[in-house]
Amino acid sequence: MSSRRKFIKNSSTGLVGAALVPTALVGQHNIPDILVVRSAVEKGEWGIIRDLFPLSHQRAYLNTGTMGPMSQKVLNTLNEWNSKVAITGEYGGYEPALERIAEFVGANKDEIAITHNTTEGINIVAQGISLKKGDEVILTDNEHVGGALPWLARAQRDGIVLRTFTPARTTEQNLELISDLITPRTRVIAVPHILCTTGIRLPIKEIADLAKERGLISVIDGAHGPGSMDLDLEELGVHVYAACCHKWLCGPGGTGFIYVNEEVQERIEPVFVGAMSDLGWQLDVSDQRITGWNPTAHRYFYGTQSASLAQGVISAMDLMADIGVGLIEQRVLHLSNYLTQALLQADLPIELLSAEEDASRSGMVGFRLNNVDHQQVFQKAMKNSFRIRMVPESGLDSLRVSTHIYNSESELDGFVAFLKGLE
């Protein structure tokens, strides 16, 4: 990972430079009426979606899997609430986000805690769950750094054992790989909903069912779930789902949440605590104690929260709901399949790393060009106004394209033409 950071720093200085930032930063623009937008997308006219975002037209942004640009609606909400807090000095306003997040992902608000990102959510569980030396946790070997380090840190500190598998490209194979790793010492199955490396979607409902059958806790890295698919966590049956709002939801950076099913909350102790974590406390000379933990998942977050960020998350979720989450999922999968087929049909020495099975596909496509180094492809793509992502994780040395609702088939055609023009 350090090499990836170093490479990006050296080779893509322009990422945050003037060349890629519009002269007029985030100016107001005319936003189409949402009823007009909904009517258009129901007819398959997705081009109107781009007008909801101040996203630059000077390049094709194909990296939602890292950061989803905010819509003008979300930007307006942030500005409005920052001004409101500045004018009134009041610090409330985050509370409605708990209920909105729960509604959006099919959960109870008492099972939701606000976080800053997916990594924070995974840390809450990895550090707080009751595990002792020799207990085993099942992971993939394609984890994001935020999904790997919390468990690695726990293993180094407490001697738990991490058992990994290389994900396959079908549901049946992945279930078999996980099942084969379960032993009498296994306590947790901690896997991504969608692999950040290849975009392969794992069969989470089946994994959650397997965990329950074996008396294990299922912990899902859901960074790429909300905003790319229609989620119902209660139906999926997972114990824990950690996610962020700055990717496919196109919400503000530094926002996320963790779902902790009420059945396992008592098995995951809050490690970092503060106001809202407790039921009361005393610090007198003769009485020093915490009365008890908050009986909900709210025990896992604490202290002053940002009203503007929370309201920005609500705004992002409202926009997705207004467009239609089911329609969004269809569009995301259509675009990734369109790109997959275009890559396979092009006269290219390509190795596809993503799944072709419908149940295992997502909005991300991973691949290699066997005749060009992945770093060179990335550099040339940036120079040709295509923002993609390199994938050094797990030694894949590959590339990843993320397609979302503001992308178009013509952008993908242009990207494939760019690849065909490489020497």
| pLDDT recorded at residue 311 | 98
Element (H, E) at 180: helix 171-181
The residue type of 273 is V
Residue 365: per-residue pLDDT: 98
Q: What percent of the chain lies above the pLDDT cut of 90?
A: 91
What does residue 396 show for φ and ψ, rounded to 5 degrees? -70, -35
* Residue 307 bridge partners (DSSP): none
Mean pLDDT of 58-85: 97
Q: What is the pLDDT of residue 91?
A: 82
79, 128, 193 from 242: Cα distances, Å: 27, 14, 10
User: For residue 203, is pLDDT > 80?
Assistant: yes
Is residue 306 within 8 Å of 94, Cβ to Cβ? yes
Mean pLDDT of 286-291: 92
Q: Under a CB-based contact definition with an 8 Å cutoff, are residues 226 and 104 in contact?
A: yes
- Report domain extents, the chain: 2-69+325-420, 95-320
Mean pLDDT, residues 261-279:
95
Give the model's pLDDT for residue 19: 39
- Closest to 150 in 3D by CA, of 117, 125, 175: 125
pLDDT at residue 25 greater than cutoff 90: no
Q: How confident is the model at residue 92 (pLDDT cuts 50, 70, 90)?
A: confident
The CA distance from 418 to 110, in Å, is 49
Contact call for residues 102 and 59 (beta carbons, < 8 A):
no
Query: To 5 degrees, how large is the angle CA 256–CA 17–CA 224?
Result: 25
For the cut 50, the answer to whether the pLDDT of residue 4 exceeds it is no
- Between CA 25 and CA 53 the distance in angstroms is 13
- Tokens linked to 357: 């099975």
d(CA 233, CA 200): 19
In three-state secondary structure terms, 190 is strand
Which CATH number does 2-69+325-420 carry? 3.90.1150.10
Residue type, 37: V
Between CA 260 and CA 406 the distance in angstroms is 32
Q: 């023009």: which residue's tokens?
A: 421
Counting every residue, how long is the chain? 423
What average pLDDT does the segment 10-31 reach?
45
Percentage of the chain exceeding pLDDT 70: 93
What does pLDDT average to over the chain? Answer: 93
Band (pLDDT 50/70/90 cuts) for residue 30 is confident
Average pLDDT on 224-230 reads 98
pLDDT at 120 over 70: yes
Instruction: Write out pLDDT tens, residues 138-186.
Output: 999 999 999 999 999 999 999 999 999 999 999 999 999 999 999 999 9
Which CATH class, in words, describes the domain spanning 95-320?
A: alpha beta
Other CB atoms within 10 A of residue 422 CB: 14
pLDDT at residue 28, rounded to an integer: 54
Element (H, E) at 133: none
